[in-house]
Each structure stands twice: as C-alpha cells, then as structure tokens.
Amino acid sequence: MRVAVGVDHRGFEIKHELLALLVDAGHEVLDLGTDSDASVDYPDFAAAVGQAIVEGEADRGIVVCGSGVGACVAANKIAGVRAATCHDTYSAHQGVEHDDMNLLCLGSAIVGMSLITEIVASFLSAEFADSEERYVRRLHKVQALERGERIAP
C-alpha cells in the first residue's frame, strides 16, 4: 500500500520509527515532512498528506501532531479526505471498515510508539465494507455533505 506520512514538530520525535515501521511492513512510503523539530504549522502537513490521497499519489495517509486533533480538523477540510484521530486499535480499523477513513491522525503526546505500532497496523489492514449497504449509504451522505448538499434523515 502507498502511505503518505506527514508530521509537525511534535510528531518529528517518532517520525523515523514510524517510517521504518511502514517500510518493514512492506508499504511504499511518501515522506511529506517535516524534517526537523523546529516549530511548524500542522495544517501544512495535514494538507500535503490529504492532497496526496485525493490526487492518487497515496492510498492512505498518516499525520502526527501533538494531540492529533488539529491535524484531523485541517485534513477534513479537503474534499475526499476522511480523517479521524485514533488512539486505539478498534477506532482505527472500524473507521476504515464502516466510514472509509483514509487518513489516520495520531497524537504523539497521547500515545507512545508501542501503541502507535498497533494502531497503524489496524488502520492499514482494514478494508471498507463496501458490500454492506448501510455503510455505502452513509458514505454517500458524507460525500453529499462535502459537496455542500443538505441531507435529511
């Protein structure tokens, strides 16, 4: 799988371990920065990873900031990106299986590398349950919201 990775200065401390983890698991990695622990803006890296996904350069993405929240908010502003902050394995795989999540946001101040290893494996091994009508119907509603359409129950 092609995985785009972007981190801000708070994610830089684990970046090399994360990249090595992905490569060791057989994934093709697109490193979108940052390249130091100097203060940078998380939206820049969330946007780079999100754009790599929607432009077809990556199948999925991972962004790391301090909490995962800011990167998630920024990434979800890009049409076609379905990002979630996950600090547990259940949310990481369920987000893909039920919601077609394509970008995982992690908080380096929240979870350590041991748990990140498990979360990333759970995220990347999951597949969208596109054979189940309810999940497809819900995804179509999310996509309608992206287009600015109103939806109703």
Of 86, 82, 85, 89, the C-alpha closest to 122 is 89
Chain centroid to Cα 125, Å, comes to 13
* Residue pair 42/77 in contact by the 8 Å Cβ criterion: no
- Cα-based torsion angle of the residue sequence 104, 51, 18, 8 in order, rounded to the nearest 10 degrees: -90
What are the residue numbers of the active site? Answer: 65, 98
* First-last CA distance in the chain: 36
Cα(5)–Cα(25) distance, rounded to whole angstroms? 15
